[in-house]
Amino acid sequence: MAEMQGLMERLEQAVGRLESLSAGLHRPPGDCGEINGVSGGVAPSVEAFDKLMNSMVAEFLKKSRILAGDVETHAEMVHSAFQAQRAFLLMASQYQQPQEGPVASTASALSVLSVGPGLPPPPPPPGPPPPFDSEGRREESSPSRSALFAQLNQGEAITRGLRHVTDDQKTYKNPSLRAHGGQTPSPTKSHTPGPKSPQSHPPKKHAPVLELEGKKWRVEYQEDRNDLVISETELRQVAYIFKCSKSTLQIKGKINSITIDSCKKLGLVLDNVVGIVEVINSKDIQMQVMGKVPTISINKTEGCHIYLSEDALDCEIVSAKSSEMNILIPRDGDYREFPVPEQFKTAWDGSKLVTEPAEIMVSERPPNPLT
């Protein structure tokens, strides 16, 4: 509160000094003083400012005095600032605008620089670049280039350094040399064997695994096995089949989920799955569903044939980044094959994109080889 009071006093002092300075100056012709609180014969800018003071600023001061307290103090400070601004406008209106100086040009600037006392004349422009001396460059050839031209200028004498090739070293007279690419060892050079390239190590052989680890059945690295069976299963268990090839696995009973990862030429026969069967990063997979399975997911797989039972016809097939996928449906003791679309067409219908699978043919397939 004390700081605001001090600031208001400083503004009032500044207004007083400006008003006294303005009163001491001579009045312009036609200045009639103030009539009813409004200045007469003043500049348009001061007159417009007085109208603002007598309207909006006066209303602001009136309402602020009613509220009193800090609001009234702040309003008095604003009033002092407006009075200081009016005094400045009045003082500025009593002086004429300075006349305009001529526009400077390049010629006038150069003339001022040339005739000005104590100023040296501008430096002369730089001279033209030195001419390209091609003759001098020819003389500055390197010693190796001079030696090369000296050898080429020998004429017929240049062939004196060549080694004579005998008849037993000519490929057109010796068929045995053509079989070896026509290369004979030079008598003056000895061939040193170069560094041998590092030999690629054979892939590490992993031991096959078929075991229950906690709640997960691990079937890993099985190869050329057609008698793999998991019979003691529970609903909470899952099966993870990893890097098995040329094998067949049967999972009996009801299990939670099955995952086939990085397998090739694998056959799987399963009874019931309450969750999902996933096929990932695999190739040539055949799957036989004997009971029910709600969802089968195929991802990054090339070649996947799924045989569904009558109870599993409501299964949902979800596929992505895969090819050669076929779903086989039982019909009259046989299976009818329905390919899963791999190509899609998308078009704009005016409000959104509409994607539809491309038309594919339906073919017949012989009975399931897994059963």
- Sorted by where each begins, the domain ranges of the chain are 56-83, 214-357
Segment 278-286 long-range contacts (CB within 8 Å, at least 24 positions apart) = 279/304, 285/260, 286/368, 286/369, 286/370
Distance CA 202, CA 198 (A): 12
CATH code of domain 214-357: 2.160.20.70
Would you place residue 11 in the very low, low, confident or very high pLDDT band (cuts 50, 70, 90)? confident
Rounded to an integer, the average pLDDT of 62-86 is 88
**pLDDT tens-digit series, residues 290-343:** 999 999 999 999 999 999 999 999 999 999 999 999 999 999 889 999 999 988
Q: What is the pTM of this model?
A: 0.45
Q: Answer for the pair 18, 91: CB distance below 8 angstroms, yes or no.
A: yes
Q: Answer for the pair 238, 216: CB distance below 8 angstroms, yes or no.
A: yes
Distance CA 3, CA 124 (A): 65
User: DSSP letter string over 60-111?
Assistant: HHHHHHHH-HHHHHHHHHHHHHHHHHHHHHHHHHTSPPPPPPPPP-HHHHHH
User: DSSP letter string over 293-353?
Assistant: -SEEEEES-EEEEEE--GGGTT-EEEEES-EEEEEEEEETTEEEEEEPP--EEEEE-SSSE
The residues that bridge with 251 in the sheet, in sequence order, are 230, 270
- 22: Cβ contacts below 8 Å, ≥ 6 apart: 87, 90, 91, 94
Is residue 61 pLDDT above 90, yes or no? no
Average pLDDT, the chain: 79
Would you place residue 32 in the very low, low, confident or very high pLDDT band (cuts 50, 70, 90)? very low
Cα 355 to chain center, whole Å? 28
**pLDDT tens-digit series, residues 153-205:** 666 666 666 677 777 777 766 767 666 555 555 555 555 555 666 666 777 88
